[in-house]
């Protein structure tokens, strides 16, 4: 049975900024962007100005924990109270990997995917990003001004906010799912480090396989549907996992090292993962919606700042093999 996906409350927005003082980014800007966003969002949302959210009487209604750290909100279902199990309703897709300097006058752009209730908080999220870049990003504290926010859909791009018209335009923020009738091959381009683990160990290019990827997609989409999308999916998880384990694949993946310093944990964190091309052979029709959705919701660890991102591409697999061997 194919899961009943139709129009889901998921939307991708591109935030465009004009740099006013030089912004320097390291190899991967996703972590710095998430930190700046969280800090600005808390400043806007918090009315008590307490140092932590732990004992706040407004914890249940405040938009900050609901968007940025929903695991901190007490829930009746105690088994779903860890950060690993309650996914956040957003993720940031930073500029392409690579250290660079954005000089004054340059454009600085990134995407943000919003899901479920976070879509209703788009005005506050826009204000948080404006505040974050006026305050300064990263070690250089480079600054920028928001010029526009663009809704990116499967068919078109639409400006929903701009500095010329700083009022949010009403728009439909749903993702329409395609209908599948038969199994097919899928060629994935993994564009940001993908961190899948087994027995708490992050897997490298030789250890990973299609079954592990698909099992993780099934779990991620199911948790998002339950906690963020208001569309709990009823299916036999054991049957779906068994289907995942039967999928064959070919891989042109390599390890990408990346690390960041965690201010909260006061330590350096190694966050490398695999990137490259991945061919999934004859993916069963029941699993195709999960792979399609993964292009928006990502998969693996640290998805909130953009890791585990991929796109389904039309490039012929043999041409990729020839390019790599040339």
The fold adopted by the segment(s) 180-325 is Alpha-Beta Plaits (3.30.70)
Instruction: Write down the pLDDT at residue 75.
Output: 56
Instruction: Write down the pLDDT at residue 325.
Output: 41
pLDDT tens-digit readout, 158-169: 999 999 999 999
Provide, rounded to the nearest whole percent, the portion of the chain with pLDDT above 90: 67
The whole model's pTM is what?
0.91
Q: At what angle do helices 288-297 and 210-224 cross, to 10 degrees?
A: 70
Instruction: Write down the pLDDT at residue 304.
Output: 96
317-326 average pLDDT score: 60
Angle at 187 between CA 259 and CA 174, to 5 degrees: 80
Instruction: Write down the pLDDT at residue 319.
Output: 67
For CATH 3.30.70.1900, the residue range(s) in the chain are 180-325
| 247 contacts 287 by C-beta, under 8 angstroms | yes
Burial class (CB in 10 A: 0-12, 13-18, 19+), 267: exposed
pLDDT tens-digit readout, 100-120: 999 999 999 999 999 999 999
């Amino acid at each position: 049975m194919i899961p009943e996906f139709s129009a889901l409350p998921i939307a991708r927005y591109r935030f465009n900024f004009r740099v006013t003082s030089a912004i320097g980014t390291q190899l991967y800007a996703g972590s710095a962007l998430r930190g700046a966003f969280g800090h600005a969002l808390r400043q806007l949302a918090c009315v008590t100005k307490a140092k932590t959210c732990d004992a706040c009487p407004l914890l249940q209604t405040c938009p900050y924990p609901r968007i940025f750290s929903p695991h901190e909100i007490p829930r009746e279902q105690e088994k779903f109270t860890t950060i690993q199990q309650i996914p956040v309703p957003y993720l940031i897709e930073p500029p392409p990997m690579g250290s660079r300097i954005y000089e004054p006058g340059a454009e600085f752009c990134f995407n943000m995917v919003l899901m479920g209730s976070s879509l209703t908080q788009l005005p506050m999220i826009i204000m948080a990003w404006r505040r974050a870049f006026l305050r300064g990003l990263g070690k250089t504290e480079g600054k920028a001004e928001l010029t526009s926010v663009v809704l990116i859909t499967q068919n078109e791009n639409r400006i929903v906010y701009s500095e010329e018209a700083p009022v949010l335009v009403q728009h439909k923020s749903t993702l329409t799912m395609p209908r599948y009738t038969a199994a097919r091959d899928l060629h994935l381009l993994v564009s940001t480090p993908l961190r899948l683990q087994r027995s708490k160990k992050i897997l490298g290019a030789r250890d990973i396989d299609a079954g592990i990827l698909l099992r993780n997609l099934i779990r991620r989409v199911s948790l998002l549907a339950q906690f963020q999308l208001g569309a709990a999916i009823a299916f036999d998880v054991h049957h779906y996992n068994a289907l995942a384990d039967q999928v064959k694949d070919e891989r042109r993946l390599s390890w990408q090292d990346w690390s960041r310093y965690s201010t909260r944990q006061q330590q350096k964190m190694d966050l490398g993962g695999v990137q490259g091309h991945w061919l999934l052979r004859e993916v069963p029709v029941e699993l195709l919606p999960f792979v399609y959705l993964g292009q928006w919701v990502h998969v693996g660890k640290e998805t909130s700042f953009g890791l585990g991102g991929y796109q389904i591409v039309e490039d012929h697999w043999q041409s990729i093999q020839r390019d790599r061997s040339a």
